[in-house]
Structure formats: C-alpha cells, structure tokens
Amino acid sequence: MDLPSRLEALITPSLEAMGYELVRVQMQGNQRPTLQVMADRVDGAAMSIEDCTEISRALSALLDVEDPIAGAYTLEVSSPGLDRPLTRPKDFVRWAGHEVKLETAQPIEGRKRFRGRLDGLDAEGRVVLTLDEGGAVALPLAEVRGAKLVLTDDLIRAAIKDQEGLRTDD
C-alpha cells in the first residue's frame, strides 16, 4: 500500500469520529515534505479555523504515535474551499452543474486536459462533461488524475445558498 493510501486509512476513522470527512490526503515537497489533509464537516457547515485546529491537534497526536512518515514533515490541515478538488465519486454527483477543470492520467480522445460543465456520473461510473468548446465527453473515473471546481459566480451563489440553508433562527 502506498503512503497516501496508508495515511488515508489511518486518518479517516479519527476524522469520522470527530464529525469530519476526509476529502484528500497528499504529500508535497521533497526537502521538508508537507502532509496536506483536506476535510469537510459531515453536517455540511463551513469549515472554520477552529475546525482545522481541532483536526490538526488530533492528527498530530495520532501521527506522533503511529509514526507513518519517515523524517521531518509539516502537517497542513485545511478545508477544500469553494474551488475544491473533486476526489470521490459522490463529489462528481454533488457538484454536477458546475464548471470543472479535469486532467486524466492517459490521453482520451487525444488529450489529457478537459474543462466544462460537470454533468455527473453516467450509469458506468464515468465522469460526464459538457465541454466549453462544445460537445460532451465521458471519462473513466479511474483515469481522472485531478479534478477541481472552477470559481464562478454560480458556484459562489450555490455556496451561499447552501450555507443559508444550514442556518437556523432560534
């Protein structure tokens, strides 16, 4: 099992117990590597600095005990933000209708980079896009190397609407 997969398996149960969901775990850099952990609140509320601090403290203790990373590294905990990476099948369903940039591991239809409106997943589990230049494409999810939402006015409006829907007037 590769390091990111081992870290994901180690981190996920603690995050879930705290009411969070892992979005992505990634190691970056060589000299002084950074372990980047992106998380969301399970209740759908916006992530706060306090949430990131709580996660950082818990994961620091867990990683100190388990010691899965050789040598020194920096732990960075963050929310995915509005222009979030899409990493799980449910992300491609949840954010359908919004603009995305996507890159595949291997060329598909002669290219690796795609941009357009996300139409979700089809019956075979392929990511369906309506391309900016016209036409549509269905990309195997297993071939998607990276995907993220593009910050648009529509995305901002949707985020505001989501947050307003979570507020309660007591």
Question: Residue 34 falls within a domain, yes or no?
Answer: yes
Do 128 and 74 lie in one domain? The reply is no
Please write the tens of the pLDDT for every residue from 2-30.
888 999 999 999 999 999 999 999 999 88
Q: What pLDDT is recorded for position 168?
A: 47
Could you list the residue range(s) of the whole structural domain that residue 101 is in?
89-156
Shared-domain flag, residues 8 and 60: yes
62 lies in the same domain as 96: no
33 token code pair = 């590597």
Beta bridge partners, 77, equal: 37
Q: What is the largest CA-CA distance in the chain?
A: 56
Query: Does residue 147 sit in the same domain as residue 94?
Result: yes
Phi-psi region of 110 (alpha: psi -120 to 50; beta: other; left: phi over 0): left
65 and 119 both lie in a single domain: no
Task: State how beta strands 99-108 and 144-149 pair.
Answer: antiparallel
Would residue 111 count as lying in a domain? yes
Nearest residue to 100 via CA among 115, 122, 120, 111: 115
> Could you tell me if 74 and 93 lie in one domain?
no
Same domain for 66 and 95: no
Confidence of residue 170 (pLDDT cuts 50, 70, 90): very low
60-78: pLDDT as tens digits: 999 999 999 988 999 999 9
**Pick from 54, 78, 102: which residue ends a domain?**
78
Q: In what order do the strands lie in the sheet with 99-108?
A: 136-140, 126-131, 111-121, 99-108, 144-149
Sheet strands (E) in the chain = 20-28, 34-41, 74-78, 99-108, 111-121, 126-131, 136-140, 144-149
Q: Total structural domains in the chain? A: 2
The span from the CA of 133 to the CA of 41, in Å, is 35
Q: Rounded mean pLDDT of 132-140?
A: 95
In the chain, the amino acid numbered 4 is P
Of 58, 78, 98, the position where a domain reaches its end is 78
- Could you tell me if residue 109 is inside a domain? yes
**Cβ distance 79 to 52 under 8 Å?**
yes
CA 110 centroid distance within chain? 26
